[in-house]
A and B are shown apart, each in its own frame.
Chain A
Amino acid sequence: MRQILAMMRKEFKQIFRDRSMVAIIFLIPVIQLFILANAITLDVMHIKLLVADLDNSRVSREMIQAFSHTKRFDIVGMTRNLDGIRRDFRSWRAQMVLIIPPKFGRNLERRLNPRIQFDVDGVDGNTAGVALGYARGILTQFGETILQNPGWRASLQGVHLISMEERMWYNPELDSRQFIIPGIVVVLLTLLPMMLSSMSLVKEKETGTLEQLIVTPMKKYELILGKLIPFLILSYVELTLVMVIAIFFFHIAMNGSYFLLGELSFVYLFTTLGLGIFISTVTSSQQQAMFLSWFISIFIILMSGFFIPIENMPDVLQKLTYLNPMRYFMYIVRDIFQKGSGLKYLLQDAIPMTAYGVFVLSVSVLKFRKRVE
């Protein structure tokens, strides 16, 4: 016990004496949170819309107005020159072009089912699809309004439109920050413990102090506990800090139990701290450990569903994500935050995550030898 306390005291002293370490632990996550929360947005906004109104009737003007009334679209200009579209796409002046053909208004009155055309820059397929969806929504609504219009009603009698009533659960405003910020919490609880534990163990290897510790009668579990408990505590401080900012600054809804979140974080930290030990056993310098940590981080973040939905991945890759401990915790944290789910609903992720944690930690501890090579 005395040994563990001596180790912990030393660890805390070393961390707080190192200014860059303090910055890494407390400042960088906060900066990351502010930047990433705003940068990683899945909302599609301000699509640059170019309008080619070849009709110039009352209907066409009203339709354009409907597009100008939403934040989703910015009308960047009017054109009559369809050949110029290519240039506008290339120069990023426009992302989408609305083409209203000549006589559109008149044909509509005559119930000839006239069509309008959308040209979309498909380089970012995801944005293109979302933008088209918005446009479709605006047009549906527009169709309904012109039906209400007494002037039109007569001429459009008998046209049936199915109208849809939408209700978004959990995140009614579809604010992607509600989705991204809990994800950032998961990323921080992965990176920090993994890097801190691997770097600090490898540093002892590099400077020879690990060798000195090995010749003492200190037990392996005392050494590892003395090393890991400080990082566990710091991870919780970090979690609290990020939660406070998320809830009070970004107004992220926390609908679930804080206790449950804390408890499952503990289980998850087994895995990330364990990975840190593992990295330290296969590397011999801080640079190597840093490199390996980054390499692992990039993979597990990309494969966790943080911003690339797992459901969108090819089947093989989807199966591969079951090997990713972060995947489970990502689901758990988002469910706790947004849906307020209790343990009962989280078990399908919590069980594999726990198994993972126990496995990674035991393999790492076994691999960590109290002998030199």
Chain B
Amino acid sequence: MPAKISAKIEQLTRRFGKFVAVNRVSLEVYQGEIFGFLGANGAGKTTLIRMLSGLLTPSSGSATVAGFDVMRESEAVKKNIGYMSQRFSLYADLTVEENMEFYGGIYGLPNHAIQAWKNAFFEKVGLTPFVRRLTHDVPLGFKQRLALGCALIHNPPVLFLDEPTSGVDPEARREFWNLLYELADQGKTIFVTTHFMDEAEYCHRVAFMRLGNLVIYGTPTELKRKFNQTSMQDVFLKLSGSEEDKE
């Protein structure tokens, strides 16, 4: 069965002055995939995700996401993606449900649709007891789920998660990944950046980035075999080590 292409990235580049944050990255990502970007801080993961989600204009190259060109059709792209940043970007002074209702309103959804999604999602992820609490007072793991719920409210086919699990305890992380699998099974394409190597194992495919370059990508199994390692942690160390040798 030929998988449907969800994102096609060609020679995508972003410069900040003389600094090349992302250097001619090309990739194809298929529908229903969880695609992970790994790499040290400043490797270009966030910049790449920001270009794909229409937050940043690419300097050169091209990319289509959910069938729309990120340069020319960025508004159409925005309708078809969900985005969750590492800061969770919620309003601390609004209650849990107010945050959800606000983002629903921002996507122009009718009230009944917002209420239906809110109740179903909160029930599913265990947020119901927190509904009327100020987001400020809710544990981080629940903020993370709320942020995901807000990013999904308009049912986008593609999801961008920028370090979605930073600062969250292992238990909450595992539950979060279960959610992601469920979403991927429903046919959503998920881009995720992470620091955690155990999470790299959960991805369908991962890409290593270093100094703006896409070094290598493949399934975790392929990569481990190629570098003759037993875990992604070791693969990562191997790749980082070769970087130090060079410099």
From B56, B98, B107, contact of A216 by CB (8 A): B107
Q: Is the CB of B57 within 8 A of A371?
A: yes
Q: In the complex, which of the residues A2, A9, A215, A371 has the most CB atoms of chain B within 10 Å of its own CB atom? A: A215
- Stretch in A13-21, A92-100, A101-109 touching the partner: A13-21
Q: In the complex, which of the residues B56, B83, B106, B109 has the most CB atoms of chain A within 10 Å of its own CB atom? A: B106
Q: Is the CB of A372 within 8 A of B55?
A: yes
Q: Is the CB of A211 within 8 A of B55?
A: yes
B105 close to A (CB within 8 Å): yes
Q: Is the CB of B83 within 8 A of A212?
A: yes
Which residues in chain A, 193-235, are within 8 Å of chain B measured between CB atoms? 207-209, 211-218
Q: Hey, which chain B residues are within 8 Å of A5, CB to CB?
A: 105
Chain A, Cβ-Cβ closest to B88: A208
Q: Is the CB of B53 within 8 A of A215?
A: yes
Number of interface residues of A (CB under 8 A): 24
A46 close to B (CB within 8 Å): no
Q: Is the CB of A209 within 8 A of B91?
A: yes
A10 close to B (CB within 8 Å): yes
Which residues in chain A, 341-373, are within 8 Å of chain B measured between CB atoms? 371-372
Known contacts A215-B53, A215-B83, A372-B55; is A6 also within 8 Å of B106 by CB? Answer: yes
Q: Is the CB of B93 within 8 A of A212?
A: no
Chain A, Cβ-Cβ closest to B134: A17
Which residues in chain B, 48-83, are within 8 Å of chain A measured between CB atoms? 50, 53-57, 75, 78-79, 81, 83
Known contacts A215-B53, A215-B81, A217-B79; is A3 also within 8 Å of B108 by CB? Answer: yes
Known contacts A211-B55, A371-B57; is A218 also within 8 Å of B91 by CB? Answer: no
B240 close to A (CB within 8 Å): no
A189 close to B (CB within 8 Å): no
Q: Hey, which chain A residues are within 8 Å of B155, CB to CB?
A: none
A6 to B109, CA, bound (A): 10
Report the minimum CB–CB distance from A369 to chain B (whole Å).
10
B225 close to A (CB within 8 Å): no
Q: Is the CB of A6 within 8 A of B102?
A: yes
Chain A, Cβ-Cβ closest to B84: A212
A186 to B56, CA, bound (A): 40
From A14, A17, A207, A371, contact of B89 by CB (8 A): A207
Report the minimum CB–CB distance from A14 to chain B (whole Å).
5
Report the minimum CB–CB distance from B10 to chain A (whole Å).
21
A sample of 10 more A-B contacts (CB under 8 A), given A9-B102, A213-B106, is: A2-B110, A6-B104, A10-B105, A207-B87, A207-B89, A208-B87, A209-B89, A209-B90, A209-B91, A215-B78
5 chain-A/chain-B pairs, Cβ below 8 angstroms = A2-B108, A6-B105, A17-B93, A217-B108, A372-B50
Identify the B interface with A (CB < 8 A).
50, 53-57, 75, 78-79, 81, 83, 85, 87-94, 98, 101-110, 150
